[in-house]
């Protein structure tokens, strides 16, 4: 599969858990999530605009925290004009953003952004529930591929 996410060529970290069989690097995770991301996992305010062609729309924080579960590292957020943050991952010296495609040609600044914490993001119950759904669907996907 063609990996269009930001810094996909350098996303070579390895999982810290064996919980997700077949997920050996961020590219494998992107491939699996490409079958899972849907309107139900999209942020509610963006749901009407979600399409399979723009599958990463509204998926950033729940995806970034799932990446953290699997690969470790930290989640950072690029401040957006709306007052929200676009989340991405840093694992050791590896930085990548599985959901960057949603911005098309817009160039995002991945330098010197604040760390993001699941405790803050998951204060919104709908976001926590979307994260739990995404995680459960990934587990099913990995078990089916086993």
Sign of CA dihedral 105, 101, 54, 130: negative
pLDDT value of position 10: 85
pLDDT value of position 40: 96
pLDDT value of position 146: 66
pLDDT value of position 3: 84
Q: Token digits for 110?
A: 């991945």
> Which residues in the chain come in under a pLDDT of 50?
none
Q: Is the pTM of this model over 0.85?
A: yes
CA–CA gap between residue 46 and residue 86 (Å, rounded): 14
3-class state of residue 54 by DSSP:
strand
Domain ranges of the chain: 22-145
What does R_g of the chain's alpha carbons equal in angstroms? Answer: 14
3-class state of residue 96 by DSSP:
strand
pLDDT value of position 107: 92
pLDDT value of position 1: 62
């Amino acid at each position: 599969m063609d990996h269009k996410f930001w810094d996909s060529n350098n996303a070579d970290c390895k999982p810290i858990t064996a919980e997700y069989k077949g997920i050996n690097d961020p590219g494998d995770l992107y491939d699996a999530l490409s079958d899972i991301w849907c309107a139900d996992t999209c942020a509610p305010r963006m749901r009407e605009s979600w399409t399979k062609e723009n599958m990463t729309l509204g998926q950033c924080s729940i995806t970034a925290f799932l990446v953290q579960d699997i690969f470790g590292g930290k989640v950072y957020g690029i401040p957006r004009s709306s007052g929200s943050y676009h989340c991405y991952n840093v694992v050791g010296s590896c930085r990548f953003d599985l959901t960057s495609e949603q911005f098309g040609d817009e160039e995002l600044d991945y330098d010197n952004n604040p760390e993001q914490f699941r405790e803050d993001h998951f204060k919104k119950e709908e976001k926590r529930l979307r994260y739990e759904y995404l995680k459960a669907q990934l587990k099913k996907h990995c078990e089916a591929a086993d």
